[in-house]
A = this chain, B = another copy of it.
Amino acid sequence: MGIGDPMVDEKLAQVPSILKDLGIDAWLIFARESATLHDPCFDLAVGPNVTWQSAFLVTAGGDRVAIVGSLDKPNQELHGHYREVVGYVGGITEDLGKVLRRLDPRRIAINYSVDDTISDGLTHGMYLTLVKALAGTPYAERLESSETIVSALRGRKSATERGRIRAACEDTLGIFDRLTKRLHAGLTEKQVGAMIREEMAKVPGLGLAWEPEHCPGVFTGPESAGAHAGPTEREIRPGHIMNVDFGVRKNDYCSDLQRTWYFLRPGETAAPEAVQRGFETILESIRAAARFLRPGVKGGDVDAVARSYITGRGYPEYPHALGHQIGRTAHDGAGLLCPRWERYGRLPELPVEAGQCYTLEPRLPVEGHGIATCEDIVAVEPDGVEWLSRPQERLYVVGP
C-alpha cells in the first residue's frame, strides 16, 4: 500500500522498541513547510514533506498518527507510512489535543536537541507554537528532547540501509581500482584528486560524501598533512607512501574508505620492510578490533583493542578515534569508537548496538615514507560484524 519509501517503513517499525527501551511513550515530530527548513528526521520517520503545521506521532504501542493540513492529507495517505492521517482546515490545536487525549502519553519526546545538530530540527517558533497548542492540557509539561530516539534510529541500520552503504563502498572500491592503474610517481596530490573525481564521474548517481574541499583527501610522503586537508601541489616521489580518504553518496547513503599505496624506488621490487610492517600492523589492528566488536561492548574498549595493538608493536597512538558511524552522512549517529580522552566526553562509554555501521581507521607513521592507514566499514551483527566494504588485504604497490 502507498507509494512511500519502504525504508521509511523499516525505520518506523524500529521506533516502538526504541521507545520502550527509553521508557518514552510517544515521539512527536512537529514541523511545517518541511521543504524550506528540512528536519533531517523527516527522511527517516516521515517521508513526504508537509506545508502546514503538522504533527507525526509514533507510540511505544505501535500507533502512527499524522495530523496535517487538509491539502497535505492525500499526499500523506498516498505514501502510506502513517496508518491514521487526520486532515484539519482551521488549525491543528483541536485535532492534536484529541489525538493526545486518546493516546495519553506520559513522556513525549519532541524533535529538538541541544547537543546534536542532526536531532535538532524543531525551530524555536514551532516550539512556541506547540507549547501554545498544548496550553491547558497536561501534555505541555511532558515534553522532552527526542535526541536519544533519533540517535538510536539513525544508528540501527535496516537491511535496506546496509545494502545502500555496501553499494556505495563497492563503487568507491571500483574507483580506487581504476585509479591504481593510472598512478605513477611524479603526480601531485591535486592531480590524483582530479583523477579520482574523473573516475567518480563515470559512475552515474554518485555524489560526494563530504565537503568537496577535502573529498578526496590525498596525502603523500612523510611531510603530508595526513587528514582533513585538501590535496596540495606536493609531488609523489619514489619511496613515498600515499593514502587516499574518499567517500561517495549513492541513494542517500555514504561510503568513507581509505587505501594506501607504496611507490617503488628504482631497484625495489617490494615495499621496504618498515613500510610492510607498518601496514601489516594497521591491518592486524583493524582485524583485532573487528573481532572484538559486538553489541554491548563499549566504544572506548573497541578503540583500545586497536590502539594497544599498535602501541604494543612500538608505534605512537593515532591522534583520533578508531571509527565513527556512517549512514546518511559520513559521520552519522552519536556512538563512536574513541579513546577515553576529555574531548570525547561520555562517548567512549556508550555501548555498541546491533545494526550500527562503523568505520575502522587507525593510522601510524612510517618514518621517511609517510602515513600507513586503511579504513573499512563494518555493520554490527548480534554476534559479530559483517564487512560492508571488501577490506584491503595487502599494500598496493606502484612500479617505478
Name A residues whose Cβ lies closer than 8 Å to a Cβ of B. Answer: 3, 32-33, 35-40, 48-49, 51-53, 69-72, 74-75, 78, 88-93, 112-129, 145, 210-211, 213-214, 225-230, 232, 319-320, 329, 331, 341-343
Contact = CB atoms under 8 A, between A and B. Distances in A.
A210 to B, nearest CB: 6
Which among A40, A52, A91, A114 has the highest number of chain B CB atoms within 10 Å?
A114
A217 to B, nearest CB: 10
- Pick the 3 closest A-B CB pairs, nearest first: A91-B342, A120-B125, A74-B225
A91 B339 CA distance: 13
Nearest to A30: B124
A122 B121 CA distance: 9
Contacts of A112: 123-125
A344 to B, nearest CB: 9
Contact of A145 (B89, B125, B226): B125
A341 B37 CA distance: 24
Nearest to A94: B342
A341 B91 contact: yes
B118 A75 contact: no
Given A37-B40, A72-B228, 18 more contacts: A37-B37, A69-B343, A71-B226, A71-B319, A71-B320, A74-B229, A75-B213, A75-B230, A89-B319, A89-B341, A91-B342, A113-B125, A114-B128, A114-B129, A115-B125, A119-B125, A123-B124, A127-B127
A311 to B, nearest CB: 16
A78 B230 contact: yes
A121 B228 CA distance: 22
Contacts of A70: 319
Contacts of A71: 226-228, 319-320
Contact of A37 (B72, B92, B120): B120
A132 to B, nearest CB: 8
Nearest to A87: B319
Nearest to A130: B124
Nearest to A31: B117
Contacts of A113: 125
Given A40-B36, A122-B124, A49 B115 contact: no
A124 B120 contact: yes
Contacts of A33: 117-118, 331
Contact of A121 (B37, B74, B91, B210): B37
A117 B126 CA distance: 9
A121 B32 CA distance: 12
Contacts of A117: 32-33, 36-37, 125
B123 A122 contact: yes
